[in-house]
Chain A
Amino acid sequence: MASGNHRGTGIFRRSISRRLSPEFKEELDGLPGVANLKRVGERPRIGNYLADLWDRRLFIYVGARGEASTSHSRDRLGLLWLIIRPLLDAVFYYVIFALLLKVDRGMDNFIAWLLVGLFMFQFTQRSMTAGVTLIRSSKSMIRAFAFPRASLAFANVTRELLLAVPSFVTMLLLIALIPPHAWPTGLMFLMVPMLAVQLLLNLGLVLFLARLGAMLPDFARLMSFIQRVLFYGSGVIIPITRFDMPQWVEAVITSNPLFVMLEMYRSILVYGEAPPAGDWLHFLAWAVGAFLVGFVVFWWAEESYGRE
């Protein structure tokens, strides 16, 4: 039977057709509805995928808000933990590094420097932690509905943003109130573009780590180690560049996007200076790169995330 009139439609599309047996094609050829059949579980083209994601923007937001509102619902103190935990961290690090080890010698506002570093680093760190287990922790949604799985990553960073807002406010209040006060300046508005770029970086990291964690569950075990390396390598609590070190180590540290990011936040919030254009470019390039790589890496295995 001639299948010429179907070529180019449905399952008789050339790329699929040549992988099917002639008997199967012959059996289907001419049956009603065959031209409308589409491959199930096929990775969509990246353009269609993006369009699908855009269609689910409300789903992403509702999912993020729902998770944010219930993330501490089983704790007595509820969302207060969003402020309590980083404060405890800050007090602890202040005691160790400023009072005991005195790494703050020669710095005029170590507390503000420490607080900004800690709070802004933790924003990215939390996304990374959730990213590795993203697919596993969303299993029931993935099983129940067919939606572009990357929406989970978008929802994840949105949730972290919603949860981080109270801690950002706390941070700004603290550095203004604790002497020597770092009062807000006109440069504060630079927080907005900074946060936008950081979100893009977080999204790239979550997408990348989600794929990695789904393929290789062992990676979740490695995550706390990687985060510790990043923590010290980004100068969150120790003004790392004041130490003597081999040139290549310094090169690695200063090209680390999180190190650059923290320097920029501190420059804006603690020292009231606009970060140099070179830092902006450096940070933006990393964020865009991370997003593009993460997105493609995640999309590449789109059809496999439902696997048991």
Chain B
Amino acid sequence: MNKNNIGVQRGSSKNFIEVAAQSQPPELEREAWSLAGEPKVTLAAEDVRLRYTIYADSPGRSFIRGRRKRQSVPAVRGVSLIVREGEMVGLVGLNGSGKSSLLRVLAGSEPATSGYVFASSQPQLLGVSAALVPDLSGLDNIWLGTLAMGMDPDQAHDAKDKIIELADIGHAIRQPMRTYSSGMAARLRFAISVAAQPEILMIDEALATGDAAFHKRSEDAMHELLDRSGTVFLVSHAAKTIEDLCTRAIWLHKGAVVADGPATEVARLYRFFAHALANDNKEGADKALLRARDEHPPTTFQSRGSTR
């Protein structure tokens, strides 16, 4: 598959964010936008690549004979993007397409094998993991988490009530976190992460285990963050969620960006794609993928990417 789309005709009906982020608008136009209070860039990444070194069974290896081979597996294969304040970016893609890996690189928790990520402030990544410190109570975890994010004691104290309210897990807040259900733990971790009012929040499937009431609360909290000129990244298997919530969607396929554009369009095409795959309709899936790629080509800054 041709990952690079330089030369592909770009769509014309895009909002200013896409225009500024991925095309080469005339200089005058760009100046005009900054005069009009163009949203600030909060995150930029150039040609980010990530490889994992793993030991995998070599083909034909039986239980007893055969060696495990050391190999390097690409997880993210050259992703470039520019994201601005007020954007809510959804990442869609099949299992193993590199969504979580990309998010972890963008958040700085996994060093990229090559490429650079820049951000206006340290992104706060909310991943899928159970408890923070399992033996400590929810309250102690709040205290510890707020201090870990760099709050001073007064700020941490002020944040506490808000976190308890947002998490809304009742008396469980006094129980050890290891006794929490996955939904309760996700609520608490989300509430702690939002409390620091991060400029950039990255959510990796962490809300999937929440109930309807919590979805409403977390959406409100995310919108509040966007209104404060923040940026939100959201990974979800449910493309419908991305379509409903996000302003922009990035479609990852085998570690590379296939399409990058308005969430309503890219996520919808991804849904067609996933639906077609589920029904063994290979042709339909390819069609949806190609269409998404042609209509919303990803950001690329250089031509050298295509040769690698």
Contacts and interface: CB of A to CB of B under 8 A. Distances in A.
A20 B118 CA distance: 11
A221 interface: no
Interface stretch (B131-139, B166-174, B243-251, B280-288): B131-139
A279 interface: no
A31 B40 CA distance: 7
Interface in B61-109: 80, 82, 84-85, 104-109
Contacts of A55: 150
B46 A304 contact: no
B39 interface: yes
B241 interface: no
A37 interface: yes
A146 B122 contact: yes
Interface in B35-64: 38-44, 46-47, 52
Given A11-B118, A56-B150, A21 B301 contact: yes
Contacts of A308: 52, 104, 110
Contacts of A73: 135, 176
Interface residues of A, number: 48
A230 to B, nearest CB: 30
Given A34-B41, A307-B110, A40 B122 contact: yes
Nearest to B47: A21
Interface string B123-155: 111110111110110001001110111101100
A70 B136 CA distance: 7
A71 to B, nearest CB: 8
A140 interface: yes
Contacts of B152: 58
Contact of A56 (B80, B148, B189): B148
B109 A41 contact: yes
B210 interface: no
Interface string A54-65: 011011001100
A276 interface: no
Interface string A156-171: 0000000000000000
Contact of B118 (A38, A74, A306): A38
A41 B108 contact: yes
A143 interface: yes
B41 A37 contact: yes
Interface stretch (A22-30, A101-109, A122-130): A22-30
Given A141-B133, A143-B129, A145-B145, A40 B27 contact: no
Main secondary structure of the interface of B (DSSP, over half): mixed
Contacts of A42: 108
A28 B7 CA distance: 20
B149 A145 contact: yes
Interface in A151-199: none
Interface string A1-19: 1000000001100001001
B239 interface: no
Interface in A58-86: 58-59, 62-63, 66-67, 70, 73-74
Contact of A66 (B80, B127, B129, B136): B136
B148 A40 contact: no
Contacts of A218: none
A140 B131 contact: yes
A67 B133 contact: yes
B144 A62 contact: yes
A40 B123 contact: yes
Interface of A: 1, 10-11, 16, 19-21, 23-24, 27-28, 30-34, 36-42, 55-56, 58-59, 62-63, 66-67, 70, 73-74, 139-147, 303-304, 306-308
Given A21-B302, A27-B82, A145-B148, A37 B118 contact: yes
B119 interface: yes
B304 interface: yes
Contacts of A36: 40, 120
A179 B104 CA distance: 61
Contacts of B46: 20-21, 24
B214 interface: no
B116 interface: yes
**A1, A40, A66 interface centre (most CB from chain B within 10 Å):** A40
A204 B78 CA distance: 39
B34 interface: yes
A74 B31 CA distance: 64
Contacts of B117: 39-41
B129 A144 contact: yes
Contacts of B52: 308
21 contacts: A24-B47, A24-B80, A30-B34, A32-B34, A33-B41, A36-B40, A37-B41, A37-B119, A38-B119, A40-B108, A41-B111, A66-B133, A66-B140, A70-B135, A141-B148, A146-B107, A146-B109, A147-B149, A303-B111, A307-B110, A308-B110
Contacts of A11: 44, 116, 118
Nearest to B200: A40
Given A33-B40, A40-B118, A307-B110, A21 B149 contact: no
B20 interface: yes
